[in-house]
Structure 1
Amino acid sequence: MYGSTDRSMPQRFLILILECIFLLIAFWFLFMEGNQFFHLPKGDVTRNIVLFAFSIITFFRMNYMVFFLLRRGITWGEALNVPFAFALYFIGFSILGGIVDKPIDSIDSFAIFIFLAGSGINSLSEILRDVWKQDKRNKGKLYTGGLFKYAVHINYFGDLVWVSGFALLTRNGWSIIIPIALFCLFVFYNIPVHDRYMRGKYGEPFRQYERGTKKLIPFIY
């Protein structure tokens, strides 16, 4: 729904409500013996606390973007598909990590670092772009500053980093499927669709920008 200025408030509130439900399910599993309901092992308490903290941080960041930074319209399809991804993060990672009875160690410290780094990259890139766009002198212009000078889709890169940190914190090998799937989704769907829209909207300025800038991963790809 690129280009639409419809506020889509019902869709935005649907995303909020669904994410609240997913958070409650994650809390139930991590702290209210949900694992015993499914006859699964009980995980480490400290790990469970950090897992839920990750979900809370992601919840607030996501909804700040949905209600304040995302100014285009949201389709009903998006309103249902986007929360599905966060169900994987909130519930999926809670289940995968909530059954691991392993004390927090240096690997988990690294997971926390890359989760926070990825969250910062994603949010800061979006906030700086929003501030730039609010300046009427920049209306109709292509934004290539801030963190976007390092990659055309630096916000997606931030997503990939924080999701990888979330997956690593679970210390469960199955979790690697989620960041790999996210990478494939970005490379084979989101980025091509977004780039086609940007070429149509900005023409040659965007073509020059993408020719001289990495697509997703700064300095690499």
Structure 2
Amino acid sequence: RLWDTAAKANGLEGEIASHTRKLEALERRGRALRAEIGRKVEELAQEESRSLRDAAAFAEEEEAARTELSRTEKEALETLSQADAAERAGRGSRAIFERAGASRALVESKRQWLETRRSKREAKEAVARDLRRQIEELRDQLARYAEALEEDLAQGREKVAARSREGLRYEKSFMENSNLLVGHLKGKPECRDLLNELIASSEGENKNARGSDR
């Protein structure tokens, strides 16, 4: 029974070491994934910031273009009104009609410029929204992984703790059985070698116990 207890204790020690290595590997993978996702989120956040800055710049240009278009439309309206009045009065001339045509062309040019600024702003805002979506998805993914990882780590730690408690019971049983056997063997010269072996084994167990307490 004594040797069986010692064998079980040794096997349990190897099992605890195996569980501990698995926990350490799991923690390393968790740190690596968190670092990788963190870097990706940072990269996406920088791209998002650039897109938002570009969108803000296009928004300023859009507002300026809208103001310029409004001014140009007013001027064109005056020019066209003058051309209509001159035509009704029979005083129309080529120069007046050319100015009216030029004013209409200028309004259309300003309108197209405004539209390009608006399109570019909307495109940059769409890019920023997509980047924000990717960032949130990565953060959600990290949160789910962290939750699953913590659950796995908790289960692993509980296994180690349970095996450690079991190991302490084996150790206690080994010591009790050793002391009982030593008591029976004392005073028997033919058992001196076995007795010395048991004492040495007992001392080794005590050293291991003190080492684990540290």
Query: Do these two structures clear the TM 0.5 threshold for a shared fold by scoring above it?
Result: no
Higher helix content, 1 or 2: 2
Q: Which has the higher contact order (CA 8 A, sep 6+)?
A: 2
TM-score, normalising length from structure 1?
0.24
Structure number with bigger Rg: 2
TM-score (norm. length: structure 2): 0.24
